[in-house]
Amino acid sequence: MPKLPQISDAEWDVIKVLWDRGEAGAQEVTEALAVGRNWRPQTVKTLLNRLVKKGAVAYVEDGRRFIYRPKVSRDAVARAESRSFLSRVFDGAVTPALVHFMKLGNLSKADIEELKRTLDRETKP
Amino acid sequence: MPKLPQISDAEWDVIKVLWDRGEAGAQEVTEALAVGRNWRPQTVKTLLNRLVKKGAVAYVEDGRRFIYRPKVSRDAVARAESRSFLSRVFDGAVTPALVHFMKLGNLSKADIEELKRTLDRETKP
DNA sequence: CGAGAGTAACTACACTTGTAGTCGGTAGTC
DNA sequence: GACTACCGACTACAAGTGTAGTTACTCTCG
């Protein structure tokens, strides 16, 4: 499995677009991010380049443009980020973090039901 | 309420010691961190200084040494970090994050019970 | 009193991150 | 064939981070 690189905040926004679409060219990514993140095209290209250099993203040439595609799964990266977050903020303990998040509020009844089911599923294995 | 500064990884380790003890001098912090983070004393002082500059920590002079004390609560900082983590990794959605964390595993039976109770408590208010 | 140990202040320096600008090439258009 | 628009490559640059070194001062011990 590829070693997971450290992905920065701005880079996350970029790679999210790739995860959503499967693959995309630089221009497409720039347009997808136009709302909210108002980046110049060069900025997006720099970020794509850094992601390539980090090994998080691959590309194929398509004529004179590049098509980028994620090389690492969102789930794997989320897991790594979660672990680093947990160890920094909660000393690695999952349960206090869960309690903290639950108290962050805004859980609907449906959410709560789903979470309980997930807990049940976690009980046996 | 004081604006919450952005606290870096290394700074977290330092301010955690202050949260644990209430207050401490630079040397004490260095010793507390000697296991795991093997930092030179100057490194710890630099980090304390940065925390002071950021407004996360205050100090009083005690003779020719400084006694440092947190100015922001761990809970408030954890909340801010959680929010930023959530929005980066899970687009701000709490429930998927909770599910993800639960699957990170290692929940004991007792943990699961506690979490269910917490969910129940979240149900009414 | 003189030497050593410990203190905070100031300085250092490479790496990452956010946010681009510029350059040289090519594809497509008149 | 000349011009324009777009592409990737390379360069830039300030702020934040990790990790200290150096300096100037002072308290304490012999």
DSSP assignments along chain A, one per residue:
-PPPPP--HHHHHHHHHHHHHS-EEHHHHHHHTTTTS---HHHHHHHHHHHHHHTSEEEEEETTEEEEEESS-HHHHHHHHHHHHHHHHHTT-HHHHHHHHHHT----HHHHHHHHHHHHHHH--
How far, CA to CA in Å, does B59 sit from each of A82, B40, B46, B86?
Answer: 33, 21, 14, 32
Contact A14, A70 (CB under 8 A): no
CB distance under 7 Å to strand D: residues: A 25-27, 41-42, 45-46, 49, 64-66; B 6-11, 37-40, 42-43, 45-47, 50, 63-64
pLDDT in tens, A25-60: 999 999 999 988 999 999 999 999 999 999 999 999
Return d(Cα B99, Cα B93) in angstroms, integer: 11
Instruction: Give the pLDDT band (50/70/90) at residue A123.
Output: confident
Domain boundary residue, one of A29, A54, A70: A70
- Tokens 């961190």, residue? B33
pLDDT, tens digit, for every residue of B72-124?
A: 999 999 999 999 999 999 999 999 999 999 998 789 999 999 999 999 998 76
pLDDT score of B2: 59
Contact call for B104 and A85, based on CB within 8 A: no
Domain count, chain B: 2
Query: What mean pLDDT do residues B51-77 have?
Result: 96
**What CA–CA distance (Å, rounded) separates A65 from B117?**
55
The residue from B43, B70, B97 where one domain ends is B70
Instruction: Write down the pLDDT at residue B28.
Output: 96
Strand order in the sheet with A57-62: A24-25, A65-70, A57-62
Residues B85, B104 within the same domain:
yes
Same domain, yes or no: B24 and B51: yes
- Say whether pLDDT at B1 is over 60: no
Percentage of chain A exceeding pLDDT 70: 97
| Residue A60 belongs to some domain of the structure | yes
Are B65 and B86 members of one domain? Answer: no
Same domain as B82, residue B33: no
**A24: domain CATH number?**
1.10.10.10
* Residue A101 belongs to a domain: yes
Is there a single domain that holds both residue A86 and residue A103? Answer: yes
User: What mean pLDDT value characterizes chain A?
Assistant: 93
In this structure, the answer to whether residues B82 and B44 fall within a common structural domain is no
Q: Over chain B, what is the mean pLDDT? A: 93
A63 and A93 part of one domain:
no
Residues 6+ apart with CB under 8 A from A60: A66, A67, A69
Q: Over 80: is that where the pLDDT of A13 sits? A: yes
**Can you give the pLDDT at residue B125?**
59
Instruction: Flag whether pLDDT at B45 surpasses 80.
Output: yes
Tell me what pLDDT residue A48 has: 98
In-domain check, residue B4: no
How far is residue A116's CA from residue A95's CA, in Å, rounded to a whole number?
Answer: 14
A2 lies in a domain?
no
Q: Are residues B42 and B60 both part of a single domain?
A: yes
User: Which domain covers residue B20, as residue numbers?
Assistant: 9-70
The reply to whether B47 falls in a domain is yes
Residues A87 and A54 in one domain: no
> What pLDDT does residue B98 have?
96
* The pLDDT of residue A104 is above 90: no
Which percentage of chain B shows pLDDT scores above 90?
86
State whether A35 and A63 are in the same domain: yes
Query: Quick one: pLDDT at residue A83?
Result: 94
Dihedrals phi, psi of A63, to nearest 5 degrees: 65, -130
In angstroms, what CA-CA distances link A18 with A11, A33, A36, A64, A65? 11, 11, 17, 19, 16
Whether residues B122 and A116 touch (CB distance < 8 A) is answered with no
- A98 in a domain, yes or no? yes
User: Is A44 contained in some domain?
Assistant: yes
Shortest alpha-carbon distance between residue B1 and chain A (Å): 18
Residue A105 pLDDT exceeds 90: no
The whole-angstrom separation of Cα B41 and Cα B13 is 14
Q: Residue A12 pLDDT > 90, yes or no?
A: yes
**Contact (CB<8Å) A107/B122:** yes
- The answer to whether residue A80 sits within a structural domain is yes
* Residue where a domain terminates, one of A70, A85, A108: A70
ipTM of the modeled complex = 0.90
